[in-house]
Structure 1
């Protein structure tokens, strides 16, 4: 909404006049244009499609960003992986997504961190590294750029209903757009489970994973009408964002 400087997700209860609405392909594009997330619909809690309809090169770049190439690398590194110059890559991103590669990576990390601030009791330092940030300084700077507030301030604003209690492990929501037929999906995965790696029992999907040579376990089950619940038992939280994104791809959310 150009009059308020706030961006919303589709379906938000806010009803601005049509002439006061500007649309963006991505939340990251709205943030790059100076808009901040709506506190009512909280668009950062739902991951929408990325690069739908964009050229193949942009789609490949987005997948590399999701895989974490820009968590520690630069746009030059990303361009080299795709055999294009950083300048050409930035132009393609601005033309098709409305944001630079660095801007998209920053938004992705910040949105995941905001979910952890809301849903978990992890420390701010643990959340920074779990979300792919290289340092606490970068974490504080980027959260202020995206949300106009520090991580500590954002943690103090969380809603009581957001906090997820866990009997061991860290619990996170995996939001999806209904419908999702959980019983059929879990049965499909059970038939194709890799022995010793995956299992499905009592509608709970379990999988062992390896993080830098150390073992961990994730569990996924139906959480509500619009989200799954992922419980992670990991040796450390650094890089958690990639574990969650890989789990989301398994379930198509």
Structure 2
């Protein structure tokens, strides 16, 4: 996890490794860039801390982590902290208190910082116009965008675009190219191997280390490509029908490949286990992968046969022609699959709102297990991919690995399914 250093005498905060050497008595540390900004500090122009991964500590309370997941999904874009708290069974006041205590910011401040940092990366990496950057980053208006950028970076968007370095700009033959930052270690080969083993035919593919998948945005098709980029980032190439809300596409893509959480504490504690410890030593960069579409992960956990999955996709999915790489359809919705015999009960429960596939927790596991055809292991697999720390989609109970069984399970599944490099 990145720890940011803020200097009281300059009002600037930096990422680790910055060349600035202030006196120790003048330095404050923050675990989140958003917390440093909320305390009145601005980002260093030299080390550009907005370009590194800003993950939440894995020892933060699960309620806070679930709230962060919902913020990343865009809950605060169209509603306030009260609505976010209601989703978690908390008052807005209690939610703010938990965020202040564990993250040093309010939920609104956290969301604003993420939008501003994403916008700054778009200004650096792409040639999108200023207005497109604003709406791609989740801001509701240009005025709101300009105000937030000035408050966080002490400059206008145009001034920041003019400051970008020659090597920042990313180009491709088509699509929008973005960096997905992470803090090493991160084992893309292992993660790509897992995604290849679990790819839904017609919807996902992995070829030559590049993960590709079809997506649907408000009924319009798109294509995502994710692959290696550098020692601290992957590259996402997004082919989309429009740029509005691209921040949520990038955040969901980052969650899919396990970049939203950094298992520092979990890795340290599991390293002492006689079974999991050697696996961690061999591949310390394993992360718990997330999901692009929670419903499709649920269906995949129930329907393990690739041929049956392919038939579901080609029968009920929306055709997306001309993509190549074996990609032919967007995954069907729960409403559409409610008519499918094999997964009808699950699809109906999701379509009717009886099961909310937003965060992985014990409530989700119990709800899934109550659906005909959903096994305990399938329910735990879905919860693991939706952010649960302590899911166990394998045989047995593994009580000695609590409360970090999800990471342990990922190590075991990777070891079984993907050869070590």
With normalisation by structure 2, the TM-score equals 0.58
Corresponding residue for 1:93?
A: 99
Corresponding residue for 1:70?
A: 76
The higher relative CO (CA closer than 8 Å, separation ≥ 6) is in: 1
Q: How does 1:110-125 map to 2 (within 5 A)?
A: 110-125=116-131
Q: How does 1:1-253 map to 2 (within 5 A)?
A: 1-253=7-259
Give, in whole Å, the separation in 2 of the partners of 1:98 and 1:86.
16
Give, in whole Å, the separation in 1 of the partners of 2:96 and 2:141.
25
Matched position secondary structure for 2:29: coil
Give, in whole Å, the separation in 2 of the partners of 1:226 and 1:78.
32
Give, in whole Å, the separation in 2 of the partners of 1:61 and 1:225.
29
Matched position secondary structure for 2:8: coil
1:102 Cα shift? Answer: 0.7
2:60–2:102 contact (8 Å) kept in structure 1: yes
Q: Name structure 2 gaps, 5 residues minimum.
A: 1-6, 260-421
2:53–2:183 contact (8 Å) kept in structure 1: no
Matched position secondary structure for 2:97: helix
1:205–1:220 contact (8 Å) kept in structure 2: yes
Q: Deviations over 1:69-95 (max 9, x none)?
A: 111211122122222222222222112
1:51–1:58 contact (8 Å) kept in structure 2: no
1:21 Cα shift? Answer: 0.8
Give, in whole Å, the separation in 2 of the partners of 1:115 and 1:225.
17
1:232 Cα shift? Answer: 0.5
Give, in whole Å, the separation in 2 of the partners of 1:156 and 1:115.
13
Q: Deviations over 1:93-151 (max 9, x none)?
A: 11221111110010010000100000000111111111111111111111111111111
1:57 Cα shift? Answer: 2.3
Matched position secondary structure for 2:30: coil
Higher gyration radius (CA): 2
Which range moves more in the overlay, 77-86 or 3-12? 77-86
Matched position secondary structure for 1:22: strand
1:198 Cα shift? Answer: 0.5
Report how many residues are paired.
Answer: 253
1:51–1:62 contact (8 Å) kept in structure 2: no
Give, in whole Å, the separation in 2 of the partners of 1:100 and 1:13.
30
1:207–1:218 contact (8 Å) kept in structure 2: yes
1:173 Cα shift? Answer: 0.9
CA RMSD of aligned residues (A): 1.4
Q: Deviations over 1:135-194 (max 9, x none)?
A: 111111111111111111111111111001111111011122233333333222222211
1:55 Cα shift? Answer: 2.3
